[in-house]
Amino acid sequence: MRRDEIPTPALLLDLARFERNLERMAAHVRRAGKHLRPHAKTHKCPEIARRQVAAGALGVACAKLGEAEVMARAGIRGLLITTEIVPPAGLARLVRLLGEAPETLVVVDHPENARELGRAAAAGGVVANVLVDVDVGNRRTGVAPGASTVELAREVAAHRSLRLRGLQGYAGQCAHVVGWEARRAASRAAMASLMETRGLLEAAGLPVEIVAGGSTGTYDIDVELPGLTELQSGSYCVMDLDYRRIGGRSGDALTDFEMALTVVTTVISVPAADRAVVDAGFKSFATDRPFPPEAVERPGIEYGWAGDEHGRLTLRDPDRPVRLGERIEFFPPHCDPTINLYDRVWAVRGSEVEGVWEITARGRSD
Amino acid sequence: MRRDEIPTPALLLDLARFERNLERMAAHVRRAGKHLRPHAKTHKCPEIARRQVAAGALGVACAKLGEAEVMARAGIRGLLITTEIVPPAGLARLVRLLGEAPETLVVVDHPENARELGRAAAAGGVVANVLVDVDVGNRRTGVAPGASTVELAREVAAHRSLRLRGLQGYAGQCAHVVGWEARRAASRAAMASLMETRGLLEAAGLPVEIVAGGSTGTYDIDVELPGLTELQSGSYCVMDLDYRRIGGRSGDALTDFEMALTVVTTVISVPAADRAVVDAGFKSFATDRPFPPEAVERPGIEYGWAGDEHGRLTLRDPDRPVRLGERIEFFPPHCDPTINLYDRVWAVRGSEVEGVWEITARGRSD
């Protein structure tokens, strides 16, 4: 099948760009002496996870248990579930997952959750590998750094069915700081508390074999920290407009990784010379960022939201009209929730379709 | 299974409210002497479509061909595809659909599209039932009202493989005008052009058996138009925050239909007395509206977006703390793209789960 025969709207992955992104990140962490456990919440696609592991990743990080279940079933190992699992039914599912993939890491940020996890693991006859999730200023999940973390780490270490492996600290508030120097300053300030806390655990004789964190925005910043052992960056493999605009070490755009992900649309209405309508709206692009999709290599075209299933194009260049039935590709504002709208991604190389990969963990937020 | 055992985040449909919504709309169109072909883009769920038809609907409207294919396969008849089908492969799929569900209605807004549709239908040995899609000020799809519409209607009527059935005019710009009188004025002004155009077609001896339009916002406004034959309202069956806030004939909230749709979440982190985190973010609620989800019957709780998989709750009432593992339901801002995030909806009656309905057309924007 050819790229221009794919029914629209559809999600496309440019394989050449994607492969270069995997190689660049792999070389980067190798040079830095760190590990990579890329976040599969970005793509939810076992085939992408397999290729990340083949490029040297330890495994993949998963935002949710449901995502991890899909990855484990697809044979991916080295999983880290980055969100706390709290409901009793969730803990029971986790115990089953640990039977299949015992090295899976989970996180806790509350002593009550640590006790419930310990009880569930003991009852299921498994040992859960645990990182303490530390709030490094993201104000989402995570226990306060310092003494509170040490106390929770002791609680974890006290359970025979739990094995304390280290810490997780995700500075989500730093990931999209615009400007590399400003982002570096923000991330260093945030991660300092995690590094200090690491020292406290070591001083208390508690194991800190793993310290996980980092984003695509801070992939070349957080590796400067001697105490960080692995990166969780996710978006680097496909990129999006939101990450491109944060800027790189040199330059206003983050170009270290290439824009590999597009949504292909069809022009279905041409009501006026300066206006056209494509077949992709809120159900084809995530809308959580304050800017719209961007037409690929079509500078005269501006996309505007026009409902669930439509985008309204403003045509700024009268010398380049669009015609009915024309196909136009767009870069999505935010990759993760956009990919989560699709059941499959079309892996393309130039004008040819090389594969169709199932986004098997799509919708698995449970 | 009980409501409080459903793994979270999950989409719930309150059956008692949903059933009353169906009954109320059915009684309304009966009284008004109109037909109802409710928009299935809202729910994408064959079971809901079946119940709408059982309550008296002619069939369902579908935004896209892919949605219609799912509904036809589920045995739903009386389909209207409200968006133009342009790509040759799409026209070939439509011809196959017409073999199965020949009464299906399609729309055109361009003579080129009418010719391609005519050719495809002729080549496939089918006759396509066609409405001319008129732009009543929504500035999305649709041909200009008046002479342009008459001309396009003549083009349709000239094809032996096309059967002109009438007009569609969707005044999407009026659906969410706040205040019933203001909304009525806006809708009347917009739909006047459709009514005039209807007159022009009749004067030209062209058939106008069907004139379709209307939204949940204008469901009790557009039925005042003698020339409108059927309503396309979709959201009424489940409702959402965006429709509730537009106000009804009497009152600041549209309460004619009940809020039947919620997302149930679990509190997974309680970092501080005034803050908690639930397991639902951009991948569990559509974010296209400028306001967040609202906690059901929990006035002291404010939801804030906190990424793909998290919501950050601000707790305003110190007397009502939330506890780790507590389940909290939220009304979504916008029903259609929120439902499109889920593979199934849990149909609940009080504390019991009565069914689990597949959202079979989820993701079918093609």
Ordered by start, the domain boundaries in chain A are 3-8+256-358, 15-236
Quote the DSSP letter at residue A348: E
**A299: number of Cβ within 10 Å:** 10
Least Cα separation, residue A286 to chain B (angstroms): 8
Using CB atoms, pick whichever of A280, A305, A324 lies closest to residue B86.
A324
CA B53 – CA B36 distance, rounded (Å): 9
Could you tell me which of B207, B208, B131 has the C-alpha nearest to residue B170? B131
Report CA torsion sign: B6, B11, B17, B19. negative
Using CB atoms, pick whichever of B84, B266, B277 lies closest to residue A269.
B84
With CB atoms and an 8 Å threshold, state whether A110 touches B282.
no
Whether A309 contacts chain B with CB within 8 A: yes
In this structure, are residues A300 and A317 in contact, taking their beta carbons and an 8 Å threshold? Answer: yes
Give every CB contact of residue A112 below 8 A, 6+ residues apart in sequence. B324
- Measured CA to CA in angstroms, residue A238 lies from A12, A18, A30, A79, B145 at distances of 10, 6, 20, 20, 44
- The answer to whether residue B318 scores a pLDDT higher than 90 is no
In this structure, are residues A296 and A329 in contact, taking their beta carbons and an 8 Å threshold? Answer: yes
Using CB atoms, pick whichever of A113, A141, A366 lies closest to residue B8.
A366
In this structure, are residues B228 and B211 in contact, taking their beta carbons and an 8 Å threshold? Answer: yes
Whether B111 contacts chain A with CB within 8 A: no
Report CA torsion sign: A181, A184, A186, A189. negative
Whether B282 contacts chain A with CB within 8 A: yes
With CB atoms and an 8 Å threshold, state whether B309 touches A270.
no
Q: What is the structure's pLDDT at B250?
A: 87
Least Cα separation, residue A336 to chain B (angstroms): 7
Give every CB contact of residue A168 below 8 A, 6+ residues apart in sequence. A80, A82, A107, A131, A132, A133, A134, A142, A211, A212, A213
- Measured CA to CA in angstroms, residue B74 lies from B13, B48, B119 at distances of 20, 11, 28
Q: What is the structure's pLDDT at B248?
A: 96
CA B330 – CA A262 distance, rounded (Å): 32
Using CB atoms, pick whichever of B268, B270, B287 lies closest to residue A287.
B287
pLDDT > 70: percent of chain B: 100
With CB atoms and an 8 Å threshold, state whether B271 touches A135.
yes
Least Cα separation, residue B341 to chain A (angstroms): 6
In this structure, are residues B305 and B284 in contact, taking their beta carbons and an 8 Å threshold? Answer: no
Query: Tell me: the pLDDT tens digits for B107-138?
Result: 999 999 999 999 999 999 999 999 999 999 99
With CB atoms and an 8 Å threshold, state whether B140 touches A310.
yes
Using CB atoms, pick whichever of A9, A324, A336 lies closest to residue B365.
A9
| Residue A5 CA from chain centroid, whole number | 29
Quote the DSSP letter at residue B290: S
Chain B segment 11-40 residues within 8 A of A by beta carbon are: none
Domain A3-8+256-358 annotated CATH 2.60.40.10: no
Could you tell me which of B200, B192, B236 has the C-alpha nearest to residue B217? B236
Average pLDDT over residues B32-60: 98
Average pLDDT over residues B148-164: 98
Least Cα separation, residue A315 to chain B (angstroms): 14
Q: Do domains A3-8+256-358 and A15-236 have the same CATH topology?
A: no
Q: Which residue of A has its CA nearest to B271?
A: A143
Domain B15-237 annotated CATH 3.40.640.10: no
**B190: number of Cβ within 10 Å:** 23
With CB atoms and an 8 Å threshold, state whether A8 touches B87.
yes
Strands A344-349 and A10-14: parallel
Whether A84 contacts chain B with CB within 8 A: yes
Whether B287 contacts chain A with CB within 8 A: yes
In this structure, are residues B262 and B296 in contact, taking their beta carbons and an 8 Å threshold? Answer: yes
With CB atoms and an 8 Å threshold, state whether A271 touches B337.
no
Using CB atoms, pick whichever of B83, B135, B310 lies closest to residue A309.
B83
- Name the residue with tokens 């925050």: B241
- E runs forming strands in chain B: 10-14, 35-36, 61-62, 80-81, 105-108, 128-133, 162-169, 210-213, 230-231, 261-272, 275-278, 294-295, 301-305, 311-315, 327-331, 344-349, 352-358
The CATH class of A15-236 is alpha beta
**pLDDT tens digits for chain A (366 residues)?**
999 999 999 999 999 999 999 999 999 999 999 999 999 999 999 999 999 999 999 999 999 999 999 999 999 999 999 999 999 999 999 999 999 999 999 999 999 999 999 999 999 999 999 999 999 999 999 999 999 999 999 999 999 999 999 999 999 999 999 999 999 999 999 999 999 999 999 999 999 999 999 999 999 999 999 999 999 999 999 999 999 999 999 899 999 999 999 999 999 999 999 999 999 999 999 999 999 999 999 999 999 999 999 999 999 998 999 999 999 999 999 999 999 999 999 999 999 999 999 999 999 999
Whether A330 contacts chain B with CB within 8 A: no
CA A343 – CA B197 distance, rounded (Å): 41
Whether B110 contacts chain A with CB within 8 A: yes
- E runs forming strands in chain A: 10-14, 35-36, 61-62, 80-81, 105-108, 128-134, 162-169, 210-213, 230-231, 261-272, 275-278, 294-295, 301-305, 311-315, 327-331, 344-349, 352-358
ipTM of the complex: 0.97
Whether A271 contacts chain B with CB within 8 A: yes
Whether B97 contacts chain A with CB within 8 A: no
Strand partners of residue A163: A129
